[in-house]
Amino acid sequence: MTPSHPSGTRAASRARSKISIFAIAVSAVVLAFAVACGMPSPPARHALLYGISIYDVGYPEGTYINLTYTDDDASAMASALSAKGWTVKLGLADTQVAADSQDATRAAIEADIAELAGTDGLVLFYYSGHGTRDAYTGTSYILPYGSIATAADRISADELRAMFEAAGLSHVIAILDSCYSGGFVQAGVTVDGVPDIFGANDPGGDIAYTAFIDALGDALEAYVSYGADSRYVFISAAGSEELSWESSSSGHGIFTSAALNAFDDSSADSDNDGYVSTAELYAYCVKAIVASWNSYKEDDLDYYSDGQYADFYPHLSGVAREYALWEAP
């Protein structure tokens, strides 16, 4: 005769069975989700890249109002993106600006964006050149070739977004390596902890929230006052009141130099999913700028600005989406 189990043992056995069945069900559901997470084949990817080093053809690069490496920035980004499968269109205003039919003017940029109308794939807009900010309205602008002489040819954030909207583009990434470019970046439903003028010695100070919970009030305000901001993803080299810099040691803008390194550095894919996303690129550039520039420049007074120091910090839009840019090396 088989002895009966004590009731406690039977209860424990039933409990174990319940928990096991529950655990199996949970695992099955998670596995099903994991299977659904495979990477789709690449969509159509178009990149428009503009680099303006020459604003006044009467002067060589790096003198008067002309920049030195911004044309090289756009060219290098175009090569790197092309190697990763992007279809690229490059507009330069460099020493050959007259011969190149001024393909980095506002009109050229507008026409290039309009040409992409109907594209349902991914569009990347890259700009390296001067930027400016209207101190009265707080509006930031990028300055295509010709726009220093003709202010109406500057492009504001609203105007750039309107160009994308007019072309019916839904999936746009804009990367701007220019001064005051943070004015193009909308926090959306979020509150951005990176101040507009970043720096230990600057008015904005360091990252705004030292404790996670300190962001609660501002985040609540952002939630209740949210008014359907732009759906495009913008990455700016600097804040809306900051300068962005270029360096002879890299031969590029500080931000763009970091971005170019991300193409060949597997650590840019921080979540190890095999792809570098917009947020990962942003984080990679931040890390590089903090290490290679800000750590040396936070005490350097910037004589071009109104008492700011030369450190700066990139900004990223607060939209919920991020885009895969390229396969990690």
Partner 1 sequence: MNLYITRVILKYEPMRNLALAFASALACVISSWAAPAASLYAHAAIEPGVSEEILYSALPFVSGSASIGAGLGPFAMEIGAMYQGPSAYSDEWYRYRGFVALFAALGPRIRYDRVTAFADIGLALARYDASYSYFILPYFEPGALIAASRLDERSALYLRASVPLRFGADSWTAGLRLGVEFDYGIAARGGESK
- Interacting residues with partner 1 between 188 and 227 (CB under 8 A): 188-194, 207-209, 211-226
Question: What span, in angstroms and rounded, lies between the C-alpha atoms of 70 and 143?
Answer: 12
176 binds partner 1 (CB under 8 A): no
Residues 19-58 within binding reach of partner 1 (CB under 8 A): 19, 22, 25-26, 29-30, 32-34, 36-40, 42-43
Taking the complex as a whole, the smallest distance from the CB of residue 228 to partner 1 amounts, in Å, to 8
Distances from the Cα of 206 to the Cα of 188, 302, 317, angstroms: 21, 17, 19
86 binds partner 1 (CB under 8 A): no
The first and second tokens of residue 43, run together, are: 């969509």
Question: What span, in angstroms and rounded, lies between the C-alpha atoms of 254 and 282?
Answer: 13
Taking the complex as a whole, the smallest distance from the CB of residue 217 to partner 1 amounts, in Å, to 4
Taking the complex as a whole, the smallest distance from the CB of residue 99 to partner 1 amounts, in Å, to 37
Site string for partner 1, 289-308 (x = CB under 8 A): --------------------
CB contact set of 268 (below 8 Å; sequence gap of 6+): 261, 262, 276, 280, 281, 284, 328
Interface residue with partner 1, options 277, 294, 298, 311 (CB under 8 A)? 277
Give the total of residues touching partner 1 (CB under 8 A): 72
Give the nearer residue to partner 1 in terms of CB position, either 109 or 194: 194
Distances from the Cα of 5 to the Cα of 10, 13, 200, 234, 239, angstroms: 6, 10, 70, 67, 71
Give the nearer residue to partner 1 in terms of CB position, either 148 or 193: 193
Q: Tell me which stretch binds partner 1 (CB under 8 A): 69-77, 90-98, 115-123, 146-154.
A: 115-123
Alpha-carbon 247 to chain mean position? 20
Taking the complex as a whole, the smallest distance from the CB of residue 25 to partner 1 amounts, in Å, to 7
Give the nearer residue to partner 1 in terms of CB position, either 92 or 237: 237
283 binds partner 1 (CB under 8 A): yes
Taking the complex as a whole, the smallest distance from the CB of residue 119 to partner 1 amounts, in Å, to 11
Task: Work out the number of other CB atoms within 10 angstroms of the CB of residue 324.
Answer: 20
Alpha-carbon 128 to chain mean position? 13
The first and second tokens of residue 265, run together, are: 């550095």
Give the nearer residue to partner 1 in terms of CB position, either 89 or 287: 287
CB contact set of 113 (below 8 Å; sequence gap of 6+): 48, 125, 163, 164, 166, 167, 169
Backbone angles phi, psi at 151, to 5 degrees: -60, -30
Task: Please report where in the chains the tokens 């030369």 appear, as a residue.
Answer: 310
Give the nearer residue to partner 1 in terms of CB position, either 147 or 236: 236
Give the nearer residue to partner 1 in terms of CB position, either 21 or 107: 21
Interface residue with partner 1, options 80, 202, 318, 328 (CB under 8 A)? 318
Interface residue with partner 1, options 47, 238, 324, 328 (CB under 8 A)? 324
Question: What span, in angstroms and rounded, lies between the C-alpha atoms of 177 and 166?
Answer: 24
CB contact set of 102 (below 8 Å; sequence gap of 6+): 93, 108, 145, 146
Residues 120-159 within binding reach of partner 1 (CB under 8 A): 120-122
Give the nearer residue to partner 1 in terms of CB position, either 155 or 157: 157
